[in-house]
Amino acid sequence: MSNLKLALIFLAIFNSCEFNFSDPKTQINQELSWTSQDEYPSTSDCDLIAEKTERIDCLKKYLIESISKNFDSTNFSLQSNIVDTIILTLIVDKKGAIKLYEFEKINESYFDIDFRNKITDIINNMSSIIPANKTNLGLSVTSKFKLPIIINTKR
């Protein structure tokens, strides 16, 4: 009889509570999924542009111009003439710091370790920008994106 009472009490408690048995990872992933209302990383100038695709293009242009300007200000030179594209995977952390995550070359052009190190130094020393923002959570978040850059040393 006491086992029956214990089972009934357990059943009453179990039925009175609301349990959500869905996978918590799925709930978190839905909250973290990128939505059209979320804000991509930006700069103060690019942030003034209302259209989202134009704002993204503005950021890409800013990054490419900054990398090019910093590269041109060095005395670095490549040994051979190269026309090639590299793809830089960049991380913008939740504080807006930019870091190089990956360096990919499209063709088999020769980019020595000094060239990679120079690109890495330039990117890792860039000024911080406005980080991406998850608007449904109200948080700045780390973002990762690819930036293609054409290298042309032929004159």
3-state SS track over 108-143? CCCCCHHHHHHHHHHHHCCCCCECEEECCCCEEECE
Q: Is the pLDDT confidence value at 59 over 90? A: yes
| Full domain range(s) for residue 26 | 2-152
Tally of structural domains, the chain? 1
- Would you place residue 27 in the very low, low, confident or very high pLDDT band (cuts 50, 70, 90)? very low
Partners of 15 in the beta sheet?
A: none
Report which listed range, 88-92, 118-122, 147-151, is most confident.
88-92
Residue 6 CB coordination number (10 Å): 10
